[in-house]
Structure 1
Amino acid sequence: MRFFASARGKEKEGGTIILTQGVHHVRLDGGAITLVFALVEGGTADVVYLGARLPEGEDLAALAHSTMRGRHENQADPPPVPGIVPQAGHGWQGSPAASFRHISGEPLHTDLRLISWFHEGSELTCRFADTQANIHLSTHWAIKGSDTVFCDSDGWNENAEPIVLERLASISMPIPRRFADFTAFSGRWAGEMRESRQPIAPNGFARRSAGGKPGFGGGNWLLLHADGGEEVLGFHLASSGDHDTRIECDNIGSADGRAILQIGAAFPDGGEIIKPQGAFGAPPVLFALGQNRSELAHAFHRHARGHVQRGRQNWGPRKVHLNSWEALAFDLSESGLIALAESAAEIGVERFVLDDGWFGGRRNDQSSLGDWFVSAHVFPHGLDPLIQRVHALDMDFGLWVEPEMVSPESDLYRAHPDWCLHLEGRDRPTMRGQLALDLTRQEVRDYLFERLDALLRDHAIAYLKWDHNRDLFPAGARQSDQVSGFYRLLDRLRAAHPDVEIESCSSGGGRIDFSVLSRVQRVWPSDNNDPIERVRIMRAWSQFLPLEVLGNHVGPSPNPITGRQTDMDFRAKVALFGHMGVEADPGAMSEAEREVLKAHIALYKQWREVLHSGDLHFLDHPDPAVYTQIVVGDTSALALAAQTGFSGEFDAAPVRLKGLDPEAHYRVTLLLPWPQKAALYLPNKRHWRDGFSLSGRSLMTQGLALPLTHPETAWLIALEKVSA
C-alpha cells in the first residue's frame, strides 16, 4: 500500500500547490511539458492544462478559471466535472473509471471523493475513497526524464467480504478541446498497424481485445491530433494482455463538453474477485506530447532507450540475422542447415537462427510443441555440430521456441492433459493445431524453465526467438494471471541467462508493448516481409518504437504471403531501416542478387550506429505512395526515399529533409548500389556518386530531386556534416 499525505494547501518541495477558494492547483513539469491539476478535497480532481511547458510563475488559478464554463439548460446542479476519476453518480453519462458489484451480483454503487494527495517534484498521487462502500482508489501521475508521462491506478477493498471489480481504467484523461481528431490502429495477421484518422465525435470510439494479448490491431496505441496544427499526443497501455480503449463525449451532462479518454486492461467476463482487505491495480499507461509526429517519436524512443530497454548500453551493434524459416521451413537436416549457414556467412550475416522444426517429432505444425528436446531424427549427432560450424563461420547461433503452447499430438500433452487452458467438461478447441499452456500453474512454469534452461546451459545459444502463435481461449477469468505467469517465466529465464538475447514474436506483431520490451531486445513487427507492405508497417511501429528493436528482414521473391515479386535492391534498402536480417536462402539467389544483398548488409554495418541512436524524422512528400524518412545523428544522417506505387507525375517532387542543422553544410551522396531502372533517369551520376555540399537549410527547404516514378524504387541519401 502506498503512503499518502494530505496537501492541505501547503507548498511541497519540488512542485507548486496553490489554494484558491477551496481548490488546490498542482503543477507537474517535464523538460517540455506541463500538467496542471485542480484538486478539490472532498470532491474531484481534474487536469486543467496539458501542453507545452508553461513559464515559471504562471498563475495557475487564472489558468483554470480561463477555461471554466457556466451552467446551461438541462444540466445537473452543479454540472459534473468527470476529471481523472469519472463516475456516474453525479451526472456523467459515460463509462466510470472503475465499476464494482457485490459478490451476489448486485451493483455496488460508489461515490469516490478526493480525500488526500501526495505531490513531490514531477509526481502526483491522488487518493479517492467512498467510506460507505469501503472502496479506496488511487491514481498516480509521474513525468519521467524523457518527458514521458506515466499514469496508473490501484486501490483496495476495505469490506469484510469480497467484491467484484468489473473494470478499472489505468488512465481517465479529459481531452483538451484543441485535440479534435484521433488516429487509431487496426490490422490483421500480416497486415498490422493500419492507421485510421477520424474526428472525436459524439458517437465516440471503443476498441477491446479478447485474445489474451494486444493483438494485431494495435488498440493499445493511440494518437490525438490538435485541430489546425501538427501537435500530437500519443498514448500506450504497457501491458501484454487485453486492452480496453474508449473515447466518450458527454456534451450535455458534463461541465465543459470535453471528451474523456480511458485506457486500461480488459477484464474477463464476470470481472475479477477482490478479497476482503485485498488490493487491485491496473497496468501503466504512458503518454507523450510532440509538436509534430517526429517529435512524438523522439519522446517515445528516448523513453524506450533510457527507461525500457534493459541493459541497452551493453547490447553492442545489432547483428545481421539470417532466419531459416523462409529458406527451409520444416525441411531440416544437419547438412542442409550447414549449407545455409555457409551461404549466409558469405554475404556478411552475423547471427544464424534455426527456426521451427528442430525438436521432438516436429515435421509439420501439427505436433510436438512442448517436447523441447533436440530431434534425433533431424540431428542424429545433436545440435553441437551445427552450432560449432556456425561459430567457425564467425556467427552467433539462435533458436526458435514457442514455450507457451502445446500440441495435442505431443508427449507433454499425453502426460499432462490438464496443463492446458481449458474448461472442465468442455471441448478443447485448437488454433493452428495447438493449445495454450496454463502459465498460472507453478508446475507448468517450472517444466518450461527446466527445458529452456537446459537448452541454454547445454548449448552455446546466444539468442531465442520466442513465439506466441495462439490466442488464449478458453481462459475464463485467468487471462490476466496468464500474462503474469508469462512475465514470471521470462523474468526467471533472463535472470538465469542474462547474456542471451530474446525476440518477442506473436505471429508477427500480435504482442508488442513496452512491458514485454522491458524483458526482450527485439520484437517482430509482422510475418509479412513484402517490402511494399513493410515500409507502411515499419513506419507505424517506429512512431513508438526505435528502429534497433524492430526486426526487418529481406524476404524471398515472390513473397510467400502476397505473391508479389520485388527487386532485391528495393527489398534490401527497406530492410536497412530496422534491425536488419535475411529470411531467404542466399544459395538460391542469382549471383547478382547475392552481390546486391551483400553490399546492403555492408551498408547496414556502416550505418547501424546512426540508425540505432539517432533521431528519426518522418518526411513529407505529396505522392502518397512515396515513403520518406531520415535518421539524424551527431555528425551524419541517412535518409530513405521509397516509391511503392506508379507515380502520376514523371518528375516527382523533391525530397525535403528534416532535422538537420540549418547553418551547417553537408556532403550529400546517393549510396551505391542504385536502383537499376531509376538510375537511368539520374543526371550527372558522378555528381551524386562522389558527393556535393549543400546547407542544411537548402536540404530542408528545397530538397533533392530524385527519380521516383516507378514502383520499387528506393534511394539511400547519405549526409556527412562538413561544417557547422
Structure 2
Amino acid sequence: MESPQRIDGTAITIVFDALAGAPPSLLHVGGKLPDDEDLHALRLAVRPKRHGSQPDVPDLATIWPQLGRGYLGLPAMALRRGMAALPSNLVLGSGARIADRSAHIELEDLVAGVRVLVDWRIGAGDVIRASATIINAGDTPLAIDRLVSIALPLPGWATYATRFHGHWAGEMHQDTTPIPHGRSGGESRGGRPGFGGANWLIAHNGGFSADHGRAVALHLAWSGDHETVIERDADGAILQMGARYDPGEIILAPGARFTTPDAVLAIVDGGRKEVRRALHTHVRSDVLIGRANWAPRRVHLNSWEALAFDMNEASLMRLASDAAAIGIERFIVDDGWFTGRRDDTTSLGDWTPDSRLFPNGLTPLIDHVTALGMDFGLWVEPEMVSPDSDLYRAHPDWCLHRPGVDRPTQRHQLVLDLAKPEVSDHLFGVLDGLLSVHRIAYLKWDHNRELFPNDGAGHNQTLALYALIDRLRAAHRNVEIESCASGGGRIDCGMLSRCHRVWPSDNNDAIERLRINRAWSLFLPPEVMGNHVGPSPNPITGRMLPMDFRAKVALFGHMGVEADPAAMSDADRATLAAHIACYKQYRDLLHNGTLYEIAFDDAGLFGTLIERDGKALALVARADMATDYNAGPVRFPGLQADRRYIVTFPLAGPKPPNGVAGQLLSGRLLRDTGLVLPLSRPATAWLVAFDQEDEPA
C-alpha cells in the first residue's frame, strides 16, 4: 500500500494512507469525494507536518495506534506472553485489500509473533462496521488484556462529544461538552452495557443541532462489558471503542485467532437528523433479522402494573377480556406465573407453571386469550436463579461464584454460568419445552442483575447467551423476543440482531419517556422501542398525568399498555381505546417512515414527526408549564416545500386547536412558518396529521 486508497459509500469517502509500512492513518473521513480525486495531492494537502519536540519521523495517530516509535497515547491492544507484557511493532503486511465498500488491512510483527487484521465495511445507510482479528503466530500462549474494535483518529472539526449516562428508570441523560485535553470516556463492569450509556456516543462540531453540523456517531454492537476512550493531546483526538476484558480472560493458543465485536460508525453532515437517518437505515437493513417481512407491530398489554404477583388463572382471564375490549392484540403474562413465585425473593429457575395458580397448566389461559383474537406472550428471566429454588438446590455449582466464600445477591438472585454446557442445555430444554407445548408467540426476556462475581467470565457469558438465543430462535422461528434488562441496561445491536424489540426503561411516566425516547431515537427506529401507557399515579415517579397525554406519547414507538383497564374510569378507557385504534391506523407510517425531530428553543417542549410517502404524523407535547401564555409556532420538518398538505388533528375531539383543520397548506409554510398550538399547560399533547395532495403546489 504505497499510495493512498479509498473506500466509498453512497455519500461518504474514507481515504487510508500508510507510510514506511506503518498502520494506515486517515487522510479523509467525510463526504463523498469525486471519483477522480487525486489522492496523492490529497496527501500533500492534509497530512500533518512535523512540529517541534517530535520524533524525527513522527508516528501519527493511525487506525491501530501502538507504542514504541514515539506515539505516547493509548495503544489499541495490550498483550502478554506469560506474565510479561509483549511489545509489538506492527507493520503493514502484504494482504491489504482496500476497494469499493470495504477495507481489509493486515498488520504483522514477526518478532512478537502477532498478526492483526483490521476490517472496515460500509453497509446500508453508509454505516461502517469495524472489527479487528488477532492471530497468535507465536509458539506460546498469547494473553489479550485489551483489544479494541475501532481506533478512529477524529477529524479536526470533531471538538465536542455528546455522551449519555443514567440509572435504573432514568436512562439516557444526554450531555454535550467540549472534548477535554487528556483522556475521557466510560466503561461497564457488570457483564452488560449497563445504564451508563458509554457504548453510544456522538463526536461532532460546535453548533451541532437538529439539522446542522457534522458528526461521527459510534456504538459497540456487544451485549457484555465495553470500554470507550477519547484521548486528546496537542496533535488531535483519537477515539477507541471495544469490549472490556479482564486480565487472563482471553488467551490464545498458538495458531488461534480472536475477533472483536463490531463497532458501528456513522459519518454524517446534516445534524441529528442525519444521525437518525443513517442508523435507523442500518438497524432496519443490516441488524434486525427479517425486518422487511415483519408483521404489523401488535399492541401489547403486559400484566405487571395491573396485577404484579397477585395473579391466577381467573384474574388473568378477566384482565385478558378487558384488554381485548379496548383493542389489545397481544396479552403478556409477566413475572409471577411459575412455581412458588409469590414475590421477587424466590423461584427463579423453576420455569414450570404454578399448579396452584393454573390447575390445568397455561393451556386454558392461552386458549382464552387466543379466542379473544389476541396472541400470548410470557415473561422469563432465564439467565438468573434464586437461592430459594429447586434448580439452585439441585445444582448450587451452576451459578457464578467464588468457591469457599459467600454468594452476594442482587434482587435476591444469582447469575447462572451460561458458559457451562450443562447449564445452557438445561435452559434450552426448559424454554424449548414451554414453546413446543404452548401457543406462545412472544417472550419478554429479562435480565435484572449485574454480573458479579464474574472473574473473567463476562466474555464467555455473552457468547453463551447469544448461542442460547440463536438456538432457541432456530427451533422457534415465529416466536418474537423482547430484550429487557431492568429497562435499558442491555440495549445494543448485538441483542437487536437476535430480538424484535427492546424495553427502553422500566419508567412508563410519559414525561420521562419523552426524554428517554428522544435520546434512544437518535440510534434506534421507533418500531423496536416498547412504549407503554402506564397507570396514574405512576408507580415510579408518583406523577399523575391525563390519559390523553399518556396515550399520545405511547403512540410513537411499539405501543402497549401496562395498566388495568378495569381500574380506569369509563372516560379513560374510551380515550385509551381511541388511541389504540389511531395507532393501528398509523402504525405502517410510524414504523416504516423517516423520523424527524421537531426542534424547540423551549426545553419543556418535545416534538417528533414521522413521514412516509406523502403522509406524516407528528406529536407535539409539553412537559412543564410554559414561561409565556402564547407558545411560538411549531415548525414541522420533513415536509416537501413544493407540495400542499391537508392538515388534521387526530383525536382532538370536537374542538381542534385552531381553524386550520381540513385546510390545504404548503409544505414550505408548515416547515418554515409553522402552526400555533395551545401548549401553555403541562401534560398537553397534540397529534397533527399531514396528507399530501397529488400535485405540486
TM-score in same-fold range (> 0.5) = yes
In structure 2, the partner of 1:249 is: 232
CA offsets, 1:604-626, max 9 Å, x none? 00000000000001111111110
In structure 1, the partner of 2:333 is: 354
Give the superposition deviation at 1:270: 4.2
After superposition, residues 116-131 of structure 1 pair within 5 angstroms as 116=94, 117-131=96-110
CA offsets, 1:343-392, max 9 Å, x none? 10111000000000100101100111110111001111211111111111
CA offsets, 1:478-518, max 9 Å, x none? 11000000001000000000000110000001111111101
In structure 1, the partner of 2:502 is: 523
Q: Could you tell me which amino acid in structure 2 is paired with residue 225 of structure 1?
A: H
The structure 1 residue matched to 2:407, chosen from 417, 423, 428, is: 428
Matching of residue 202 in structure 1 with residue 202 in structure 2:
no
> 2:42, 2:176 → 1: CA distance?
30
Matching of residue 233 in structure 1 with residue 216 in structure 2:
yes
In structure 2, the partner of 1:605 is: 584
Kindly indicate whether the alpha-carbon contact (under 8 Å) linking 1:525 and 1:551 is maintained by their aligned counterparts in 2. Answer: yes
> 2:681, 2:370 → 1: CA distance?
42
Give the superposition deviation at 1:41: 5.4
> 1:593, 1:703 → 2: CA distance?
31
Matching of residue 698 in structure 1 with residue 669 in structure 2:
yes
> 1:640, 1:228 → 2: CA distance?
25
CA offsets, 1:65-118, max 9 Å, x none? 212232222111122112101112122222100111221x12111111112311
In structure 1, the partner of 2:88 is: 110
Kindly indicate whether the alpha-carbon contact (under 8 Å) linking 1:359 and 1:375 is maintained by their aligned counterparts in 2. Answer: yes
The structure 1 residue matched to 2:197, chosen from 218, 242, 248, is: 218
3-state DSSP of counterpart to 1:204: strand
Q: Could you tell me which amino acid in structure 1 is paired with residue 139 of structure 2?
A: A
3-state DSSP of counterpart to 2:51: coil
In structure 2, the partner of 1:3 is: none
Matching of residue 267 in structure 1 with residue 245 in structure 2:
yes
Matching of residue 163 in structure 1 with residue 146 in structure 2:
no
In structure 2, the partner of 1:664 is: 643
> 1:622, 1:468 → 2: CA distance?
38
Q: Could you tell me which amino acid in structure 1 is paired with residue 516 of structure 2?
A: I
In structure 1, the partner of 2:453 is: 474
Matching of residue 632 in structure 1 with residue 615 in structure 2:
no
Kindly indicate whether the alpha-carbon contact (under 8 Å) linking 1:596 and 1:673 is maintained by their aligned counterparts in 2. Answer: no
In structure 1, the partner of 2:160 is: 181
> 2:33, 2:119 → 1: CA distance?
22
The structure 2 residue matched to 1:446, chosen from 425, 444, 451, is: 425
- For structure 1, the residue ranges without an aligned partner over 5 or more in a row are 1-6, 8-22, 252-256
Give the superposition deviation at 1:269: 4.0
Kindly indicate whether the alpha-carbon contact (under 8 Å) linking 2:124 and 2:281 is maintained by their aligned counterparts in 1. Answer: no
Q: Could you tell me which amino acid in structure 2 is paired with residue 250 of structure 1?
A: D
> 1:69, 1:611 → 2: CA distance?
47
The structure 1 residue matched to 2:123, chosen from 144, 150, 154, is: 144
> 1:41, 1:715 → 2: CA distance?
62
3-state DSSP of counterpart to 1:240: coil
In structure 2, the partner of 1:4 is: none
In structure 2, the partner of 1:316 is: 295
Matching of residue 541 in structure 1 with residue 541 in structure 2:
no
The structure 2 residue matched to 1:459, chosen from 432, 438, 459, is: 438
3-state DSSP of counterpart to 1:595: helix
The structure 2 residue matched to 1:720, chosen from 687, 691, 695, is: 691
Q: Could you tell me which amino acid in structure 1 is paired with residue 245 of structure 2?
A: F
In structure 2, the partner of 1:46 is: 25
Matching of residue 586 in structure 1 with residue 588 in structure 2:
no
Q: Could you tell me which amino acid in structure 2 is paired with residue 360 of structure 1?
A: T
Q: Could you tell me which amino acid in structure 2 is paired with residue 479 of structure 1?
A: G
In structure 1, the partner of 2:485 is: 506
3-state DSSP of counterpart to 1:560: coil
> 2:683, 2:182 → 1: CA distance?
41
Q: Could you tell me which amino acid in structure 2 is paired with residue 246 of structure 1?
A: V
User: Bigger CA drift: 261-270 or 570-579?
Assistant: 261-270
> 2:457, 2:124 → 1: CA distance?
35
Kindly indicate whether the alpha-carbon contact (under 8 Å) linking 2:25 and 2:61 is maintained by their aligned counterparts in 1. Answer: yes
Q: Could you tell me which amino acid in structure 2 is paired with residue 148 of structure 1?
A: V
3-state DSSP of counterpart to 1:197: strand
User: Bigger CA drift: 714-723 or 38-47?
Assistant: 38-47
CA offsets, 1:656-680, max 9 Å, x none? 1111111010000111145x9xx79
In structure 1, the partner of 2:678 is: 707
Give the superposition deviation at 1:289: 2.2
Number of equivalences:
689
The structure 1 residue matched to 2:55, chosen from 70, 76, 84, is: 76
CA offsets, 1:307-346, max 9 Å, x none? 1111123221100000000000000111111110111011
CA offsets, 1:567-620, max 9 Å, x none? 100000000000000000011000000011011001000000000000001111
> 1:227, 1:92 → 2: CA distance?
28
3-state DSSP of counterpart to 2:125: coil
Q: Could you tell me which amino acid in structure 2 is paired with residue 631 of structure 1?
A: I
CA offsets, 1:624-666, max 9 Å, x none? 1101110010120001101001110111111111111110100
The ranges of structure 1 where at least 4 consecutive aligned residues each deviate by more than 6 angstroms after the TM superposition are none
3-state DSSP of counterpart to 1:722: strand
Give the superposition deviation at 1:683: 4.1
> 2:159, 2:471 → 1: CA distance?
45
User: Bigger CA drift: 313-322 or 554-563?
Assistant: 313-322
User: Bigger CA drift: 477-486 or 266-275?
Assistant: 266-275
> 1:540, 1:601 → 2: CA distance?
24
3-state DSSP of counterpart to 2:317: helix
CA offsets, 1:43-70, max 9 Å, x none? 2301110111112211112222212232
Could you tell me the percent identity over the aligned residues? 51
> 2:399, 2:526 → 1: CA distance?
36
Give the superposition deviation at 1:258: 2.1
Please report the TM-score for the alignment, with normalisation by the length of structure 1: 0.94
> 1:520, 1:623 → 2: CA distance?
36
Kindly indicate whether the alpha-carbon contact (under 8 Å) linking 2:606 and 2:620 is maintained by their aligned counterparts in 1. Answer: yes
In structure 2, the partner of 1:10 is: none
3-state DSSP of counterpart to 1:606: helix
Q: Could you tell me which amino acid in structure 1 is paired with residue 27 of structure 2?
A: V
Kindly indicate whether the alpha-carbon contact (under 8 Å) linking 1:148 and 1:300 is maintained by their aligned counterparts in 2. Answer: yes
Give the superposition deviation at 1:271: 4.8
In structure 1, the partner of 2:265 is: 287
